[in-house]
Amino acid sequence: MNNPNNSMIVDFNTLANIEPAVLSIYNMPVGTDLEFCCDNSGRYFIDTKTGKRID
């Protein structure tokens, strides 16, 4: 994030094609704080308030 040249705005469908894990958070309430994780079990989000994995 320190370099704005590494970021771009895309529509949600483009993002979902790049990273399908975002489909699991589409209906999350505005303001939900999430962390994107990638490990041996795959790519997923963690709700930082509850610590629960979102699949």
pLDDT tens across 38-48, in order? 999 999 999 99
Task: Tell me the one-letter amino acid at 44.
Answer: Y
Spans of all domains in the chain: 4-54
Residue 1's pLDDT band (boundaries 50, 70, 90)? confident
Find where tokens 């041996």 sit.
Answer: 40
Name the pairing type of β-strands 42-47 and 34-39.
antiparallel
Q: Which residues of 9-27 are buried (b: 16+ CB within 10 A; e: fewer)?
A: eeeeeeeeeeeebbeeeee
Mean pLDDT within 3-21 = 93
pTM for the structure as a whole: 0.72
The beta-strand segments (E) located in 1-55 are 34-39, 42-47, 53-54
Q: Please tell me the distance from the alpha carbon of residue 49 to that of residue 14, in angstroms, as a whole number.
A: 28
